[in-house]
Chains A and B, each alone.
Chain A
Protein backbone atom coordinates (compact mmCIF):
# COMPACT_ATOMS: atom_id res chain seq x y z
CA UNK A 1 0.00 0.00 0.00
CA UNK A 2 1.16 3.53 -0.71
CA UNK A 3 1.59 6.52 1.56
CA UNK A 4 -2.04 7.63 1.20
CA UNK A 5 -2.84 4.89 3.71
CA UNK A 6 -1.27 7.08 6.40
CA UNK A 7 -4.41 9.25 6.26
CA UNK A 8 -6.45 6.10 6.87
CA UNK A 9 -4.55 5.39 10.08
CA UNK A 10 -4.84 9.00 11.27
CA UNK A 11 -8.60 8.88 10.67
CA UNK A 12 -9.07 5.52 12.37
CA UNK A 13 -7.12 6.68 15.45
CA UNK A 14 -9.27 9.80 15.73
CA UNK A 15 -12.42 7.72 15.21
CA UNK A 16 -11.52 5.15 17.86
CA UNK A 17 -10.83 7.84 20.50
CA UNK A 18 -13.69 10.10 19.42
CA UNK A 19 -16.29 7.33 19.41
CA UNK A 20 -15.09 6.13 22.80
CA UNK A 21 -15.26 9.57 24.39
CA UNK A 22 -18.67 10.35 22.87
CA UNK A 23 -20.02 6.94 23.96
CA UNK A 24 -18.83 7.41 27.52
CA UNK A 25 -20.20 10.97 27.50
CA UNK A 26 -23.63 9.56 26.58
CA UNK A 27 -23.79 6.65 29.02
CA UNK A 28 -21.81 8.02 31.97
CA UNK A 29 -23.58 9.81 34.83
CA UNK A 30 -22.93 13.52 35.20
CA UNK A 31 -23.23 15.55 38.36
CA UNK A 32 -21.76 18.91 39.32
CA UNK A 33 -19.88 19.17 42.58
CA UNK A 34 -17.36 21.74 43.76
CA UNK A 35 -15.08 19.16 45.37
CA UNK A 36 -14.97 17.06 42.21
CA UNK A 37 -13.37 19.91 40.30
CA UNK A 38 -10.44 20.20 42.69
CA UNK A 39 -7.10 18.76 41.58
CA UNK A 40 -6.42 15.40 43.22
CA UNK A 41 -3.40 15.90 45.45
CA UNK A 42 -3.89 13.36 48.23
CA UNK A 43 -6.79 15.19 49.85
CA UNK A 44 -4.77 18.21 50.98
CA UNK A 45 -6.16 21.53 49.67
CA UNK A 46 -4.13 22.69 46.67
CA UNK A 47 -1.99 25.79 46.96
CA UNK A 48 -1.75 28.03 43.91
CA UNK A 49 -1.64 27.06 40.25
CA UNK A 50 0.39 24.36 38.54
CA UNK A 51 1.25 26.46 35.50
CA UNK A 52 4.62 27.35 36.95
CA UNK A 53 8.26 27.55 35.90
CA UNK A 54 10.04 24.26 36.13
CA UNK A 55 13.55 23.20 37.04
CA UNK A 56 16.13 23.81 34.39
CA UNK A 57 17.68 20.32 34.46
CA UNK A 58 14.98 18.90 32.19
CA UNK A 59 15.57 21.57 29.55
CA UNK A 60 19.29 20.94 29.66
CA UNK A 61 18.74 17.29 28.81
CA UNK A 62 16.27 18.27 26.12
CA UNK A 63 18.94 20.44 24.48
CA UNK A 64 21.57 17.67 24.62
CA UNK A 65 19.02 15.29 23.18
CA UNK A 66 18.26 17.68 20.35
CA UNK A 67 21.92 17.69 19.32
CA UNK A 68 22.29 13.93 19.48
CA UNK A 69 18.99 13.26 17.73
CA UNK A 70 20.10 15.31 14.75
CA UNK A 71 23.32 13.24 14.70
CA UNK A 72 21.25 10.05 14.66
CA UNK A 73 19.41 11.32 11.61
CA UNK A 74 22.80 11.66 9.89
CA UNK A 75 23.72 8.08 10.80
CA UNK A 76 20.52 6.65 9.21
CA UNK A 77 21.53 7.10 5.54
CA UNK A 78 25.11 6.07 6.35
CA UNK A 79 23.93 2.77 7.88
CA UNK A 80 22.01 1.90 4.72
CA UNK A 81 24.95 2.37 2.36
CA UNK A 82 27.72 1.16 4.71
CA UNK A 83 27.83 -2.32 3.21
CA UNK A 84 28.14 -1.16 -0.39
CA UNK A 85 30.48 1.80 0.17
CA UNK A 86 33.00 -0.06 2.33
CA UNK A 87 36.21 1.64 3.50
CA UNK A 88 35.27 5.25 2.59
CA UNK A 89 32.08 5.10 4.64
CA UNK A 90 33.90 3.54 7.59
CA UNK A 91 36.61 6.23 7.76
CA UNK A 92 34.05 9.00 7.37
CA UNK A 93 31.89 7.67 10.19
CA UNK A 94 35.00 7.24 12.33
CA UNK A 95 35.74 10.98 12.01
CA UNK A 96 32.07 11.76 12.63
CA UNK A 97 31.98 9.62 15.77
CA UNK A 98 35.19 11.12 17.14
CA UNK A 99 33.66 14.61 16.90
CA UNK A 100 30.40 13.29 18.38
CA UNK A 101 32.30 11.57 21.20
CA UNK A 102 34.23 14.76 21.95
CA UNK A 103 30.91 16.57 22.23
CA UNK A 104 29.60 13.96 24.66
CA UNK A 105 32.86 14.13 26.63
CA UNK A 106 32.59 17.90 26.82
CA UNK A 107 29.03 17.71 28.14
CA UNK A 108 30.16 15.04 30.61
CA UNK A 109 33.10 17.11 31.91
CA UNK A 110 30.91 20.21 32.17
CA UNK A 111 28.62 18.16 34.47
CA UNK A 112 25.72 18.67 32.07
CA UNK A 113 24.89 14.95 32.41
CA UNK A 114 24.78 15.13 36.19
CA UNK A 115 21.45 15.41 37.93
CA UNK A 116 21.48 17.34 41.19
Chain B
Protein backbone atom coordinates (compact mmCIF):
# COMPACT_ATOMS: atom_id res chain seq x y z
CA UNK B 1 0.00 0.00 0.00
CA UNK B 2 1.42 3.34 -1.01
CA UNK B 3 0.51 6.46 0.94
CA UNK B 4 1.59 9.01 -1.68
CA UNK B 5 -0.94 8.99 -4.50
CA UNK B 6 -0.90 11.74 -7.11
CA UNK B 7 -4.45 10.87 -8.10
CA UNK B 8 -5.69 12.84 -5.07
CA UNK B 9 -3.82 15.91 -6.31
CA UNK B 10 -5.09 15.67 -9.91
CA UNK B 11 -8.62 14.97 -8.71
CA UNK B 12 -8.61 17.97 -6.40
CA UNK B 13 -7.30 20.22 -9.19
CA UNK B 14 -10.05 18.91 -11.46
CA UNK B 15 -12.70 19.43 -8.77
CA UNK B 16 -11.60 22.97 -7.90
CA UNK B 17 -11.58 23.95 -11.57
CA UNK B 18 -14.98 22.40 -12.21
CA UNK B 19 -16.66 24.55 -9.54
CA UNK B 20 -17.30 27.60 -11.71
CA UNK B 21 -16.11 26.67 -15.19
CA UNK B 22 -17.67 24.76 -18.08
CA UNK B 23 -16.29 21.25 -18.88
CA UNK B 24 -14.67 22.49 -22.12
CA UNK B 25 -12.83 25.27 -20.31
CA UNK B 26 -11.70 22.81 -17.63
CA UNK B 27 -10.32 20.45 -20.30
CA UNK B 28 -8.47 23.29 -22.02
CA UNK B 29 -6.96 24.56 -18.76
CA UNK B 30 -5.91 21.05 -17.78
CA UNK B 31 -4.31 20.52 -21.19
CA UNK B 32 -2.38 23.77 -20.80
CA UNK B 33 -1.19 22.73 -17.33
CA UNK B 34 -0.04 19.33 -18.63
CA UNK B 35 1.64 20.81 -21.70
CA UNK B 36 3.57 23.38 -19.69
CA UNK B 37 4.53 20.77 -17.09
CA UNK B 38 5.99 18.53 -19.80
CA UNK B 39 7.78 21.43 -21.47
CA UNK B 40 9.38 22.39 -18.16
CA UNK B 41 10.27 18.75 -17.48
CA UNK B 42 11.79 18.44 -20.96
CA UNK B 43 14.03 21.50 -20.54
CA UNK B 44 14.98 20.56 -16.98
CA UNK B 45 15.90 17.03 -18.04
CA UNK B 46 18.10 18.42 -20.77
CA UNK B 47 19.88 20.83 -18.44
CA UNK B 48 20.35 18.34 -15.59
CA UNK B 49 21.43 15.40 -17.76
CA UNK B 50 23.96 17.41 -19.78
CA UNK B 51 25.46 18.69 -16.52
CA UNK B 52 25.49 15.18 -15.04
CA UNK B 53 27.11 13.75 -18.17
CA UNK B 54 29.89 16.33 -18.14
CA UNK B 55 30.55 15.92 -14.43
CA UNK B 56 30.53 12.11 -14.59
CA UNK B 57 32.76 12.08 -17.67
CA UNK B 58 35.13 14.40 -15.85
CA UNK B 59 35.29 12.22 -12.74
CA UNK B 60 35.91 9.12 -14.85
CA UNK B 61 38.88 10.91 -16.40
CA UNK B 62 40.17 12.37 -13.11
CA UNK B 63 39.17 15.91 -14.05
CA UNK B 64 36.88 18.36 -12.29
CA UNK B 65 34.60 19.20 -15.21
CA UNK B 66 32.71 22.51 -15.36
CA UNK B 67 33.53 24.54 -12.24
CA UNK B 68 33.33 28.23 -13.15
CA UNK B 69 29.65 29.11 -13.70
CA UNK B 70 27.83 28.94 -10.39
CA UNK B 71 28.79 26.75 -7.46
CA UNK B 72 30.48 23.58 -8.81
CA UNK B 73 29.52 24.72 -12.31
CA UNK B 74 25.83 24.07 -11.72
CA UNK B 75 24.71 26.90 -14.01
CA UNK B 76 27.04 25.80 -16.81
CA UNK B 77 24.39 24.16 -18.99
CA UNK B 78 22.00 27.10 -18.56
CA UNK B 79 24.80 29.39 -19.73
CA UNK B 80 25.42 27.06 -22.67
CA UNK B 81 21.74 27.20 -23.60
CA UNK B 82 21.81 31.02 -23.63
CA UNK B 83 24.96 30.92 -25.74
CA UNK B 84 23.34 28.54 -28.24
CA UNK B 85 20.27 30.79 -28.58
CA UNK B 86 22.56 33.72 -29.38
CA UNK B 87 24.44 31.80 -32.10
CA UNK B 88 23.78 32.50 -35.76
CA UNK B 89 21.69 29.81 -37.52
CA UNK B 90 23.64 28.74 -40.61
CA UNK B 91 22.32 26.82 -43.61
CA UNK B 92 24.54 25.46 -46.36
CA UNK B 93 24.16 26.83 -49.87
CA UNK B 94 22.77 23.72 -51.57
CA UNK B 95 20.90 22.31 -48.60
CA UNK B 96 17.26 21.32 -48.91
CA UNK B 97 16.02 24.18 -46.72
CA UNK B 98 12.58 22.78 -45.96
CA UNK B 99 13.78 19.34 -44.87
CA UNK B 100 16.74 20.91 -43.06
CA UNK B 101 14.35 22.89 -40.84
CA UNK B 102 11.86 20.03 -40.52
CA UNK B 103 14.33 17.54 -39.02
CA UNK B 104 14.55 19.04 -35.47
CA UNK B 105 10.75 19.10 -35.29
CA UNK B 106 10.49 15.38 -36.07
CA UNK B 107 13.17 14.39 -33.58
CA UNK B 108 11.70 16.45 -30.74
CA UNK B 109 8.19 15.22 -31.62
CA UNK B 110 9.35 11.63 -31.23
CA UNK B 111 10.98 12.23 -27.85
CA UNK B 112 8.04 14.28 -26.62
CA UNK B 113 5.47 11.63 -27.51
CA UNK B 114 7.57 8.98 -25.82
CA UNK B 115 8.05 11.14 -22.72
CA UNK B 116 4.30 11.51 -22.42
CA UNK B 117 3.85 7.78 -21.84
CA UNK B 118 6.25 7.60 -18.87
CA UNK B 119 4.64 6.58 -15.57
CA UNK B 120 6.39 8.99 -13.20
CA UNK B 121 4.63 8.10 -9.98
CA UNK B 122 1.47 6.59 -8.60
CA UNK B 123 -1.34 8.43 -10.40
CA UNK B 124 1.08 10.69 -12.29
CA UNK B 125 0.76 9.31 -15.78
CA UNK B 126 -0.28 11.34 -18.83
CA UNK B 127 -0.78 8.74 -21.58
CA UNK B 128 -1.71 5.34 -20.19
CA UNK B 129 -2.67 3.32 -23.27
CA UNK B 130 -3.60 -0.34 -23.22
CA UNK B 131 -0.96 -0.83 -25.94
CA UNK B 132 1.66 1.16 -23.99
CA UNK B 133 4.78 -0.77 -24.95
CA UNK B 134 3.81 -1.06 -28.63
CA UNK B 135 3.12 2.69 -28.62
CA UNK B 136 6.50 3.48 -27.08
CA UNK B 137 8.50 1.29 -29.47
CA UNK B 138 6.61 2.82 -32.39
CA UNK B 139 7.08 6.39 -31.25
CA UNK B 140 10.71 6.11 -30.18
CA UNK B 141 11.79 4.60 -33.50
CA UNK B 142 10.08 7.47 -35.28
CA UNK B 143 13.04 9.75 -34.48
CA UNK B 144 15.32 7.96 -36.94
CA UNK B 145 13.33 9.55 -39.77
CA UNK B 146 14.37 12.95 -38.44
CA UNK B 147 18.01 11.84 -38.30
CA UNK B 148 17.91 10.54 -41.88
CA UNK B 149 16.26 13.75 -43.08
CA UNK B 150 18.86 15.84 -41.23
CA UNK B 151 21.76 13.95 -42.76
CA UNK B 152 20.35 13.88 -46.27
CA UNK B 153 19.24 17.50 -46.47
CA UNK B 154 22.45 19.16 -45.20
CA UNK B 155 24.44 18.56 -48.40
CA UNK B 156 27.47 17.32 -46.50
CA UNK B 157 29.09 13.96 -47.04
CA UNK B 158 29.87 13.46 -43.38
CA UNK B 159 26.25 14.12 -42.50
CA UNK B 160 25.11 11.63 -45.10
CA UNK B 161 27.43 8.89 -43.84
CA UNK B 162 26.41 9.59 -40.24
CA UNK B 163 22.72 9.49 -41.07
CA UNK B 164 23.04 6.22 -42.98
CA UNK B 165 24.97 4.60 -40.15
CA UNK B 166 22.39 5.86 -37.69
CA UNK B 167 19.58 4.46 -39.81
CA UNK B 168 21.15 1.00 -39.98
CA UNK B 169 21.95 1.07 -36.26
CA UNK B 170 18.66 2.31 -34.81
CA UNK B 171 16.64 0.09 -37.10
CA UNK B 172 18.65 -3.03 -36.16
CA UNK B 173 18.70 -2.50 -32.42
CA UNK B 174 15.03 -1.63 -32.29
CA UNK B 175 14.29 -5.34 -32.81
CA UNK B 176 16.22 -6.29 -29.70
CA UNK B 177 14.57 -3.57 -27.62
CA UNK B 178 11.12 -4.79 -28.64
CA UNK B 179 11.86 -8.49 -28.14
CA UNK B 180 13.52 -8.05 -24.74
CA UNK B 181 10.49 -6.06 -23.53
CA UNK B 182 8.20 -8.82 -24.81
CA UNK B 183 10.00 -11.30 -22.56
CA UNK B 184 8.53 -9.46 -19.59
CA UNK B 185 5.17 -8.90 -21.28
CA UNK B 186 4.75 -12.71 -21.31
CA UNK B 187 5.07 -12.63 -17.51
CA UNK B 188 2.93 -9.58 -16.93
CA UNK B 189 0.28 -10.48 -19.51
CA UNK B 190 -0.35 -6.87 -20.46
CA UNK B 191 1.14 -4.10 -22.57
CA UNK B 192 -0.27 -1.32 -20.39
CA UNK B 193 2.30 0.38 -18.18
CA UNK B 194 0.06 0.81 -15.17
CA UNK B 195 -0.81 -2.91 -15.24
CA UNK B 196 2.81 -3.96 -15.69
CA UNK B 197 3.70 -1.89 -12.63
CA UNK B 198 0.74 -3.23 -10.66
CA UNK B 199 1.82 -6.79 -11.45
CA UNK B 200 5.18 -6.09 -9.77
CA UNK B 201 3.77 -5.22 -6.37
CA UNK B 202 5.13 -8.41 -4.80
CA UNK B 203 8.50 -8.20 -6.53
CA UNK B 204 10.25 -6.80 -9.56
CA UNK B 205 10.21 -8.88 -12.74
CA UNK B 206 13.98 -8.91 -12.99
CA UNK B 207 14.08 -11.00 -9.79
CA UNK B 208 10.88 -12.98 -10.26
CA UNK B 209 11.56 -13.94 -13.88
CA UNK B 210 14.64 -16.04 -13.13
CA UNK B 211 17.64 -15.95 -15.52
CA UNK B 212 15.66 -15.13 -18.75
CA UNK B 213 14.48 -11.84 -17.27
CA UNK B 214 18.03 -10.90 -16.34
CA UNK B 215 19.29 -11.79 -19.83
CA UNK B 216 16.45 -9.71 -21.28
CA UNK B 217 17.43 -6.79 -19.03
CA UNK B 218 21.08 -6.94 -20.14
CA UNK B 219 20.04 -7.12 -23.81
CA UNK B 220 17.63 -4.25 -23.25
CA UNK B 221 20.35 -2.05 -21.77
CA UNK B 222 22.78 -2.81 -24.62
CA UNK B 223 20.17 -2.34 -27.34
CA UNK B 224 18.72 0.74 -25.63
CA UNK B 225 22.13 2.39 -25.45
CA UNK B 226 22.60 1.60 -29.14
CA UNK B 227 19.18 2.97 -30.03
CA UNK B 228 19.94 6.33 -28.45
CA UNK B 229 23.19 6.40 -30.42
CA UNK B 230 25.35 6.82 -27.34
CA UNK B 231 28.27 5.28 -25.61
CA UNK B 232 30.24 2.68 -27.51
CA UNK B 233 27.59 2.83 -30.24
CA UNK B 234 28.05 6.49 -31.18
CA UNK B 235 29.31 5.92 -34.71
CA UNK B 236 26.61 8.11 -36.30
CA UNK B 237 28.39 11.05 -34.72
CA UNK B 238 31.89 9.66 -34.36
CA UNK B 239 33.71 12.94 -33.93
CA UNK B 240 37.12 11.59 -34.89
CA UNK B 241 35.96 10.35 -38.29
CA UNK B 242 32.79 12.24 -39.20
CA UNK B 243 33.22 15.71 -37.59
CA UNK B 244 29.80 15.52 -35.88
CA UNK B 245 27.86 13.07 -38.03
CA UNK B 246 24.32 13.92 -39.05
CA UNK B 247 24.23 17.28 -37.26
CA UNK B 248 27.52 18.66 -38.64
CA UNK B 249 25.77 21.45 -40.53
CA UNK B 250 23.40 22.43 -37.74
CA UNK B 251 24.25 25.40 -35.56
CA UNK B 252 22.73 27.36 -32.72
CA UNK B 253 19.47 26.21 -31.24
CA UNK B 254 18.72 23.67 -33.99
CA UNK B 255 21.87 21.83 -33.00
CA UNK B 256 20.80 22.12 -29.37
CA UNK B 257 17.58 20.26 -30.15
CA UNK B 258 19.49 17.29 -31.55
CA UNK B 259 21.70 17.31 -28.48
CA UNK B 260 18.72 17.61 -26.14
CA UNK B 261 16.88 14.80 -27.92
CA UNK B 262 19.80 12.44 -27.34
CA UNK B 263 19.74 13.05 -23.59
CA UNK B 264 15.97 12.88 -23.25
CA UNK B 265 16.01 9.64 -25.26
CA UNK B 266 18.45 8.29 -22.72
CA UNK B 267 15.96 9.20 -19.99
CA UNK B 268 13.17 7.46 -21.91
CA UNK B 269 15.16 4.23 -22.37
CA UNK B 270 16.09 4.28 -18.68
CA UNK B 271 12.45 4.99 -17.83
CA UNK B 272 11.16 2.03 -19.84
CA UNK B 273 13.83 -0.21 -18.31
CA UNK B 274 12.96 0.93 -14.81
CA UNK B 275 9.23 0.48 -15.42
CA UNK B 276 9.30 -2.91 -17.08
CA UNK B 277 12.16 -4.64 -15.27
CA UNK B 278 12.63 -2.74 -12.01
CA UNK B 279 9.07 -2.17 -10.94
CA UNK B 280 8.53 1.46 -11.99
CA UNK B 281 7.53 3.49 -8.96
CA UNK B 282 7.02 0.37 -6.81
CA UNK B 283 9.19 0.39 -3.70
CA UNK B 284 11.74 -2.34 -3.07
CA UNK B 285 10.28 -5.17 -0.98
CA UNK B 286 11.90 -8.28 0.43
CA UNK B 287 9.57 -11.27 0.89
CA UNK B 288 7.86 -10.97 4.26
CA UNK B 289 10.15 -8.57 6.14
CA UNK B 290 7.23 -6.47 7.37
CA UNK B 291 9.29 -3.74 9.04
CA UNK B 292 11.67 -3.30 6.14
CA UNK B 293 8.81 -3.13 3.63
CA UNK B 294 6.99 -0.53 5.76
CA UNK B 295 10.07 1.70 5.81
CA UNK B 296 10.43 1.35 2.03
CA UNK B 297 6.78 2.35 1.58
CA UNK B 298 7.50 5.68 3.25
CA UNK B 299 9.77 6.76 0.39
CA UNK B 300 7.49 8.51 -2.15
CA UNK B 301 6.91 6.75 -5.48
CA UNK B 302 8.31 9.74 -7.38
CA UNK B 303 11.68 9.21 -5.69
CA UNK B 304 11.63 5.49 -6.48
CA UNK B 305 11.02 6.10 -10.17
CA UNK B 306 13.60 8.85 -10.54
CA UNK B 307 16.10 6.96 -8.40
CA UNK B 308 15.90 3.86 -10.61
CA UNK B 309 16.07 6.00 -13.74
CA UNK B 310 19.09 7.88 -12.40
CA UNK B 311 20.81 4.57 -11.68
CA UNK B 312 20.19 3.27 -15.21
CA UNK B 313 21.32 6.57 -16.74
CA UNK B 314 24.50 6.39 -14.69
CA UNK B 315 25.01 2.85 -16.04
CA UNK B 316 24.64 4.11 -19.61
CA UNK B 317 27.12 6.93 -18.97
CA UNK B 318 29.46 4.37 -17.45
CA UNK B 319 29.27 2.33 -20.69
CA UNK B 320 30.10 5.39 -22.70
CA UNK B 321 33.26 6.25 -20.80
CA UNK B 322 34.46 2.65 -20.45
CA UNK B 323 34.16 0.95 -23.84
CA UNK B 324 35.85 2.01 -27.09
CA UNK B 325 33.65 2.77 -30.08
CA UNK B 326 32.56 -0.18 -32.26
CA UNK B 327 33.09 -0.39 -36.01
CA UNK B 328 29.99 -0.61 -38.20
CA UNK B 329 30.58 -4.27 -39.09
CA UNK B 330 31.10 -5.16 -35.41
CA UNK B 331 27.95 -3.25 -34.55
CA UNK B 332 25.79 -5.10 -37.02
CA UNK B 333 27.37 -8.46 -36.16
CA UNK B 334 26.65 -7.93 -32.48
CA UNK B 335 22.98 -7.32 -33.19
CA UNK B 336 22.18 -9.83 -35.92
CA UNK B 337 24.44 -12.71 -34.95
CA UNK B 338 24.38 -12.46 -31.16
CA UNK B 339 21.61 -10.36 -29.62
CA UNK B 340 18.78 -11.36 -31.97
CA UNK B 341 19.24 -15.19 -31.82
CA UNK B 342 19.86 -15.04 -28.06
CA UNK B 343 16.72 -12.97 -27.70
CA UNK B 344 14.55 -15.37 -29.70
CA UNK B 345 15.73 -18.36 -27.65
CA UNK B 346 15.30 -16.31 -24.47
CA UNK B 347 11.66 -15.61 -25.29
CA UNK B 348 11.03 -19.31 -25.83
CA UNK B 349 12.67 -20.19 -22.50
CA UNK B 350 10.57 -17.55 -20.76
CA UNK B 351 7.41 -18.84 -22.43
CA UNK B 352 8.31 -22.35 -21.26
CA UNK B 353 8.85 -21.12 -17.69
CA UNK B 354 5.48 -19.37 -17.73
CA UNK B 355 3.86 -22.49 -19.21
CA UNK B 356 5.26 -24.65 -16.42
CA UNK B 357 4.40 -22.06 -13.80
CA UNK B 358 7.97 -21.92 -12.49
CA UNK B 359 8.00 -18.15 -12.08
CA UNK B 360 7.20 -16.59 -8.72
Contacts and interface: CB of A to CB of B under 8 A. Distances in A.
A75 B351 CA distance: 12
B154 interface: yes
Interface in B239-278: 243, 248-249, 252-254, 256-257
A106 interface: no
Contacts of A69: 174-175
A72 to B, nearest CB: 5
A89 to B, nearest CB: 8
For chain A, which range describes its interface: under 10, 10 to 19, 20 to 34, or 35 or more residues? 35 or more
A6 B31 CA distance: 11
A28 B252 contact: yes
B354 A65 contact: no
Interface in A59-116: 61-62, 64-65, 68-69, 72, 75-76, 79-84, 86-87, 89-90, 93-94, 97, 100-101, 104, 108, 113-116
B333 A9 contact: no
A9 B157 CA distance: 34
B243 A40 contact: yes
Contact of B89 (A13, A24, A68): A24
B126 A62 contact: no
A84 B189 contact: yes
Determine which residue in A27, A65, A93 has the highest number of CB atoms from chain B within 10 A of its CB, and name it.
A65
B189 A41 contact: no
A75 B35 contact: no
B167 A62 contact: yes
Nearest to A84: B189
Main secondary structure of the interface of A (DSSP, over half): helix
A17 B105 contact: yes
B352 A12 contact: no
A104 B341 contact: yes
Contact of B154 (A3, A39, A54, A93): A39
Contact of A40 (B133, B156, B164, B253): B156
B129 interface: yes
Given A39-B249, A65-B171, A104-B340, A13 B112 contact: yes
Contacts of A72: 175, 178-179, 182
A95 to B, nearest CB: 11
Nearest to B90: A36
Nearest to B135: A6
Interface string A31-65: 10000111111100010011110100010011011
Contacts of A101: 341, 344
B4 interface: no
Given A11-B35, A16-B112, A72-B179, A50 B155 contact: yes
B92 A38 contact: yes
A108 B337 CA distance: 8
B128 A1 contact: yes
Nearest to B158: A41
Interface string B309-337: 00000000000000000001100110011
Contacts of A113: 332-333, 336-337
Contacts of B90: 36-37
Given A13-B105, A37-B92, A41-B157, A68 B340 contact: yes
Contact of A90 (B92, B164, B257, B351): B351
Nearest to A7: B31
Contacts of A9: 35, 38, 112-113, 116, 126-127
A10 B114 CA distance: 11
Contact of B85 (A5, A23, A90): A23
A30 B252 CA distance: 12
B156 to A, nearest CB: 4
B216 to A, nearest CB: 12
Interface in B169-221: 171-172, 174-175, 178-179, 182, 185-187, 189-191
B341 to A, nearest CB: 7
A97 B351 CA distance: 12
Contacts of A5: 31, 34, 116, 126-127
B67 interface: no
20 contacts: A5-B116, A9-B112, A13-B105, A24-B84, A28-B87, A28-B88, A37-B91, A39-B155, A39-B157, A39-B249, A46-B156, A52-B160, A61-B172, A68-B340, A69-B174, A84-B189, A93-B348, A113-B332, A113-B336, A115-B329
Ranked nearest first, the 3 interchain pairs of A and B with the lowest CB-CB distance are A115-B329, A13-B112, A37-B93
